Amino acid sequence: MVDNTQKVRISKILSEKGLCSRREADKFIELGHVLLDGKIVNELGTKAFRSQSVMLKKIATKIQDSKHTILLHKPVGYISHLDDDKEFTPAATLITPDRYYKYSDDARRPIFKSEGLAPAGRLDIDSSGLLVLTQDGRVAKKIIGENVIVEKEYLVRVDGQLSDKGLNLLNHGLTLDGYTLKPAKVIWQNENQLSFTLIEGRNRQIRKMCELVGLKVITLKRVRIGRVSLGNLPIGSWRFLSEEESF
């Protein structure tokens, strides 16, 4: 249960309300775009009771609405996060005008300020499929926020024999590094490809799950996050999240 008797940071309250991320909240506080009981707050670390009125000014909402969320069909060989050592190529380098895939009648131009564009979740270098990159903390929170449960669906081509018992274990009953995995939905898509739907994303989870039941992963592609699907987005291409789509 949420404790309403203790003061907490205003940035935490804003995040809990889904109004922005904590990092965004700190920036808005510094800019004087946050109201506590109708008064401007501009000191970082300010605390309040959850029962108090904590709001963003309209200018902060306008700033958020100007931010972009990108859907990318990440190819194998790219990492999802930025690489400080420059050893691997980040997927964000593919967000260029020539790789833009126009979705429906979207009138937005493929040239925009990319500062603050960061992956909302990861997809390992050996996997392909849907990767979300966003400048909007509200979107990131819906995918990777604390206590958030969002389905992620993968198509996994495998090699090896899978028994009925093994399939049942993939759905529920496996343990990784002492951690009991949450129930999953795993079904055969065709004779050599499985569909995995997970509500958690531990490091290389699907590959390790398959190893435990005697399967080797040949290819792994993420095709859905929440209610947003990869669809017919070509590999290596990107598009904007449409106004009609929500995770």
159 neighbors 192 (Cβ within 8 angstroms) = yes
Inter-axis angle of helices 22-31 and 58-65, to 10 degrees? 130
Active-site positions read 124
Instruction: Estimate to the nearest angstrom the gap between the alpha carbon of 81 and the chain centroid.
Output: 12
Average of per-residue pLDDT across 174-198: 96
Confidence of residue 243 (pLDDT cuts 50, 70, 90): confident
Q: Taking the mean position of all CA atoms in its chain, how far away is CA 205?
A: 16
Alpha-carbon torsion (80, 198, 12, 68), positive or negative: positive
- Average pLDDT of the segment spanning 18-22: 84
At 58-77, the pLDDT tens digits run 999 888 888 899 999 999 99
Taking 90 as the threshold, does the pLDDT of residue 17 lie above it? no
Q: Say what the pLDDT of residue 77 is.
A: 96
Assign 114 a pLDDT band (cuts: 50, 70, 90).
Answer: confident
pTM > 0.85: yes or no: no
**Cβ 19 vs Cβ 29: under 8 Å:** no
Cα angle vertex 147, ends 129, 22, to 5°?
Answer: 90
Does the pLDDT of residue 83 top 80, yes or no? no
CA–CA–CA angle 197, 240, 64 (5° rounding): 100
Phi-psi region of 80 (alpha: psi -120 to 50; beta: other; left: phi over 0): alpha
Maximum mean pLDDT: which of 101-115, 142-156, 171-185: 171-185
What is d(CA 42, CA 35) in angstroms, rounded to the nearest whole number? Answer: 9
What percent of the chain stands above pLDDT 70? Answer: 98
Per-residue model confidence (pLDDT) at position 85: 63
By the 8 A CB rule, do 145 and 25 touch?
no
Please tell me the predicted confidence (pLDDT) of residue 169.
Answer: 98
Average pLDDT, the chain: 92
Rounded Cα gap, residues 187 and 196, in angstroms: 7
Q: List phi, psi (to 5°) of 70.
A: -115, 140
Distance CA 41, CA 138 (A): 21
Of the pLDDT bands very low, low, confident and very high (cuts 50, 70, 90), residue 228 is very high
pLDDT digits (tens, 9 = 90+) for 136-164: 988 998 999 878 899 999 999 999 999 99
Side-chain-facing half-sphere of 125: CA atoms under 13 Å: 10
Question: Radius of gyration of the chain from Cα atoms?
Answer: 21
Tally helices (H) and strands (E) across the chain. Answer: 6, 18
Domains and CATH numbers, the chain: 8-65 (3.10.290.10), 69-146+228-240 (3.30.70.580), 152-225 (3.30.70.1560)
Q: What is the model's pLDDT at position 2?
A: 60
